[in-house]
Structure formats: structure tokens, C-alpha cells
Amino acid sequence: MRSLTTVDARGNRPVTRGRDSYTPNRYVPPPVSSGGRYRGRPTAAPVGGKLEQEKEKPLEAGGCTHASDQMGILCPTGCELKITIVKQEANVKQAMAPLRNQVEELSRSSNSIYNYVERMTNAVRERQLVTDDNGQVVSRYTETLEEEHAYIKETVDSTFPSDIRLLQKILRLEKAIKTQSDNCKEPCVTSCPIPVVSGKECEDIFRRGGVDSQMYLVKPNPLSPAYKVYCDQTTKDGGWLLIQNRMDGSVDFGRRWDDYRRGFGNIAFDVGKGHCETPGEYWLGNDHISHLTKMGPTEVLIEMEDWSRNKVHATYRKFTIQSESGNYVMSVEGYSGTAGNTLLEGATELTGDNRTMTIHNGMMFSTYDRDNDRWTPGDPSKQCSKEDGGGWWYNRCHSANPNGRYYMGGAYSRSMAKHGTDDGMVWMNWKGSWYSLKTISMKIRPFFNPQ
């Protein structure tokens, strides 16, 4: 057994006098061991809903017209003529004859003028009535204008901005649709068709005839939607559901709690055969993993490869992940394999507390934004996930770190690590702290005794 100096245990946060603290393992809930789903081996894709689009048309504002009449008023002036003839009667009589003719002519003229004035007076009266009516119309029109002004002001202040934002969204959508149309001028080809066969998990799919390793739909819970997984139907008799896969560093595993809860990454992709037979880098999601492992006894297979193409594996006969209310506590038992029993025993090259603090069995899941490890709980400067690059069932901190940072070539140094710790894809009982694996995967299957 190598000494702590040789191992360089800084990467494993060793216990030192007067510094830090470490809480030994508490009670660990046992993995599910009863209620087997299968007894040895004995063999229609959901229809998507339609999307409907709603269209809205803005209302158009109305208008009005206005007419104005001109009025002319004639104001005639009258004269009163008073003639006193007191002088000579003879002179008057002589003048009467011509004056009588003039008076008669004047009388006729006066009658004409009077009739004209009467007609003009009536016209003026009628015009006045029209003016009064127009005044009432103008008053009503003014009130209408004020109401329209208030409505327009409210529209300009509140409705227009929201309409403008909606129009901007529509313009962006139209641009995206045009871009998509340009990219899809040729008929689209589905590169990853979903097989017709499906089931509760990959073992169920295998028994229903889905014997090819590729992407499938599973529906463990009849009340929850189906979701995509990769099924390995060839390794160790098949039926394995891939819950974690690292192969090329294409997906960042330094994620938040919610990402690990829901799952992330690429389930599978096509390499030219018309179906997705090659798994991508992904984490299935703690909610799914918890539900699958609590349905009944479940075994887990962890496979890994170094940069020299050497391969090893670790199998745990019982593997259970509790629900989110308990921070997804992990319970395992029944190890077998060639990689080393890191989950139950910790790093065997360490001794005492420095070893037991690397055991993962019974640990809660931790991410950089949800610290549940046992390295000085409550101290934000001492968080395993933040230093070791991914979410995992950290103790203080690890002997295995499958979701750590991806290093090309294998060996890496403290100076290369972001925090000076062994933050690579580590499995200490095979390659030690400062060697990052090329590939590692975790697969689960209902446990059953073959017949």
C-alpha cells in the first residue's frame, strides 16, 4: 500500500490536525432488494399532438366630415318724409299732380321693399335656427372628440408599446421561419427514427423484440410522459438502460442541480445507418434514475476505458437512488468486476479516515449550487462539486469522479486542474487520482436470477 506522500492526497482533501472536519458515515438506507420484476429471460409509438396557431387582426379607427355655410344678411335703411305745405294752396295744388304720381310710384316701391325685407327676416330666422342646431352639433362633436382623445392617449401610452413588442416578436419569428425555410428547401430526412417497440425500460423492450442497441422510448410510469433513452441490448445479455455516458468531452457536465435533476446531453446519433445506434454524452436525469431504481431490485454496470484501449468494469448487484426529497441518496451492494470497488470501499491506496471519506455509498448528490457533501458542511469554500467539475455522490470528496472534467490523453497535473485538485474523470482504484479516463458509462437493468 502506497503512503499518503506518494499518493499525493491533496486531491482527496485529507484529514489534517486542527483543520477542516469530517463526519463519518451515518445510517445508509439499503438498496431495494424485494419485488423482482422478472424471472429470467423467456419477447405503437405515441402519436404527437397538433399545434394550432391563432391569428389576430387589429381594429381600424373611423373618421368624420365637417361642412360650413356662408350667410349674407341685408340691412336696409328707411327714410321718413314729412312735407308740410302751408304756403300757398295754389302752389300745392300745382305740385300735387306730379307728386301724386311720385307717391304712387314710391308706394309701389315701398311694398316691394317691405316684402323683400319680410322674406329676408324669415330667412334670417331660419338661418338662426340652423345656427343653433349647428351649435348643439358642435358641442356634441367636441365631447366626442374629447372621448376620442382620451382613448387615443390611452392607446398610445399602453396598447401601442405592447403591440410594438408583439410586432417585433412576429418579425423575429418571420425571420426565423424564413431562415428555416431556406435551410429546408429540400425534403427533410429523419436521422433518428424512434423504433415502434417500446416498454417500461430496456429489459422490457428486449423481451418485446427490441434486440438492437439504439435509442428507444420508455414509459416506466403510466401516468408520466415517455422519454428517450439508449438501450444496450448486446453487452452481458442486453437489457441495459444507459444513465450516464462520457466519450469525447462534447458535453459540459459542470451543471446545476436542476440540470442533473431533469437530465441533459445527447441521447444518441446516427453514423450513416439510418437509426441512432451510437450513444452520445448524456446524463439521464436523477428523477428518472430514482424512479427506475425504485421500481424493484436494480443492478448497475460501470464500464471504463483508458487512453491505451484497456477496459475494465464494475458491477453492483443492487443499486438504488432515493427521491429528491432525500437529495437522491445512493445505496449499493454486491460488487464484482475488474475496476476496483470504489463506491463501497473508497480509495484502497489510502488508509484510515483518508480512505473512508472517499466512500460513495450512502452519500447525497451534490452540484456546485447544491452542496450536500461531507467536507465541512456549510462552508462555501469547501465544496467538492465546485472543485471537482461535476455533479456526483461526493463524500469528502471522491474515489470515483465519472462526471469530472474531460482531459485529453489521460495523465494530468495539479497545475492543469482549475482548483489544483483531481477533477478529472477519475476511478482511483484503477488509475489513481491524476489520470482522467477516455470513456466511462453507467448502465442499469432490473436484477433477476437467470434461469
- Structure confidence by residue, pLDDT tens digits, 301-355: 999 999 999 999 999 999 999 999 999 999 999 999 999 999 999 999 999 888 9
Q: pLDDT band for 111, please (50, 70, 90 cuts).
A: confident
pLDDT of residue 164: 76
pTM over 0.85: no
The lowest-confidence range among 53-57, 179-183, 258-262, 390-394 is 53-57
Report DSSP letters for 43-68, one per residue: ---PPPPPP------PPPP-------
pLDDT of residue 1: 39
Contact 33, 316 (CB under 8 A): no
Q: Where are the alpha helices (DSSP H) in 155-252?
A: 160-183, 202-207
Q: Determine the average pLDDT of the residues in 418-424.
A: 92
pLDDT at 3 over 70: no
- Per the listing, cell 471537482 goes with 388
> 151 vs 81, which has greater pLDDT?
151
Q: pLDDT band for 375, please (50, 70, 90 cuts).
A: confident
Contact 311, 277 (CB under 8 A): no
List the one residue out of 376, 329, 303, 326 whose CA is nearest residue 387.
376
Strand extents, DSSP E, 109-200: none
The lowest-confidence range among 97-106, 135-144, 430-439 is 97-106
> 397 vs 76, which has greater pLDDT?
397
pLDDT of residue 335: 98
pLDDT of residue 318: 96
pLDDT at 52 over 50: no
- Per the listing, cell 304712387 goes with 104
> 211 vs 75, which has greater pLDDT?
211
List the one residue out of 356, 355, 377 whose CA is nearest residue 366.
377
The lowest-confidence range among 177-191, 246-260, 317-331 is 177-191
> 76 vs 443, which has greater pLDDT?
443
